[in-house]
Amino acid sequence: MVNQMALSVTIAAPQGRSGKTTVSLGLCAALRRCGLVVQPFKKGPDYIDPSWLTATGRSCRNLDAVLMSEGTLLASFQHACEGASFALIEGAMGLYDGFDSGGWGSTSHIAKLVGSPIILVVNAARMTRSVAAMVSGYQHFEPDSNIRGVVLNNVASSQHKQKLVRAIEQYCQIPVVGCIPRDPTLSITERHLGLTPFREIGKEESIDRIAHQFESYLDTDTVLAIASEAQTSHTPDIAPMEGKPVVGGVPSVLGRRARVGVMLDRAFTFYYPENLEALTQAGAELVLIDSMHHQTLPDIDGLYIGGGFPEVFAEELEANSRLRQDIRRAIEDDLPVYAECAGLMYLCRAIQWHDRWYEMVGAIPAEVEMRPKIQGHGYTRVEVARQNPFFSVGQSFWGHEFHHSTISPSGTLNFAYRMLRGRGIDGKADGIVYKNVLACYTHLHALGVPQWAEAFVALAAKKQHSLVTLPT
């Protein structure tokens, strides 16, 4: 266990869409109602599930053994747990599904790494005694699986519940710590990239309702007992967090820190908290921008446009022509801009959505079309092959992509990255470079690529210097 002060459990499942997020959300909220300070985590690179867990009180952190080293992951976990009394880790996909056939980066791998017991969420629809065979199989697939409890989801009736609980307790010798009835009001709406982000829905009452209901569905006392029993005094050797930037960063000009705008609203929601913190620690002051309501850019020295769903809000983005034109002018004046996925789409000339085209910023000579099937999904590895404002040629790093869109050039595009793994923009390249803009489908995590924040803030500070007229 990394942090002896914080208890922890990992919420896992045999497969995706078993109800992990709803159970994690309900358990987080129920534990908070018990007076605990809960720090949520999400296994893997996902942005959307963490948006819901963050709504329970503390920023959800991602634990990803591909995007960051094990030492960095452990140090990040320990740092995030400071001030918390309970850590809840939501898994991804199936318990043993990882980057390779050995399960590297799986939920099981992460749980073992941080010393967290596992509670398995099982979709119990249309089964009774067979549920024990499933749970037993997961218990024994790896000799040290550390599965300590089960939550049954989609339970049809009290009779169904009785049969399920009896089978698990008889054949698996672990407790059932929750029975969730079949209730569509407990589900979270989905769209083409998964769950709908919490920022788009913004219904605090839905979380309160789930928490209230889950208090009767979950045995929080047994969950706490499982976490307490698993807690150990053993602390693994933790390597330095290579992704943690030095606080202080780039010198300011005239007493002001370099200001980096962050486009954060319903259309652009995908930001790792560590990325924003890395920019701050590297010396930046962050300035939040709403792409649909701000008419002009504030006084900034750099702009960060993250992922999200610009196609869903294409009409609103198009309507705010003043901001789009201001961004275009700023780019022509060499404003440093780093854009990921949705940000890349926004900087193109137009986005097609539901058989209509919507005008965007137009700094990148390309059009974006939404496709019915996923175009890029999974981990990427890129090699920097062309000079650009943010990275040195020859550098390589891991990232991830998840997009339904494709980009059709209507002019010359210069690419910074050569794809070693993943699709990127055309299967071979990613990272469009124009002036001080770098726009790509690949998302990076600052703890795995610490140079990014330092380079970004240095570039912003250089822009800030260029705007200062020194006295003669």
Q: Residues with catalytic annotation? A: 341
The answer to whether the beta carbons of residues 87 and 11 sit under 8 Å apart is: no
DSSP string, 273-311: HHHHHHHHHTTEEEEEE-TTT-SS--S-SEEEE-EE-TT
Q: What angle do CA 79, 188, 53 make, to 5 degrees?
A: 10
Question: What are the two backbone dihedrals, phi and then psi, of residue 284, each rounded to the nearest 5 degrees?
Answer: -90, 150
Whole-angstrom distance, CA of residue 467 vs CA of residue 336: 13
Half-sphere exposure of 258 (CA within 13 A, CB side): 31
Contact 29, 55 (CB under 8 A): no
**In this structure, what token pair is assigned to residue 388?**
């650009």
Please say whether the beta carbons of 153 and 180 come within 8 A.
Answer: yes
Phi then psi dihedrals of residue 105, to 5 deg: 80, 5
- Beta strands across the sheet bearing 348-353: 356-359, 348-353, 364-370, 405-409
Q: What are phi and psi of 164, to 5 degrees?
A: -65, -50
Instruction: Give the position of tokens 């990272």.
Output: 431
Contacts of residue 402, defined as CB under 8 A and 6 or more positions apart, other chains included, come to 193, 341, 374, 376, 377, 378
- Report the distance separating Cα 400 and Cα 340, nearest Å: 11
Rounded to whole angstroms, the Cα distance separating 429 from 226 reads: 48
Please tell me the distance from the alpha carbon of residue 437 to that of residue 334, in angstroms, as a whole number. 8
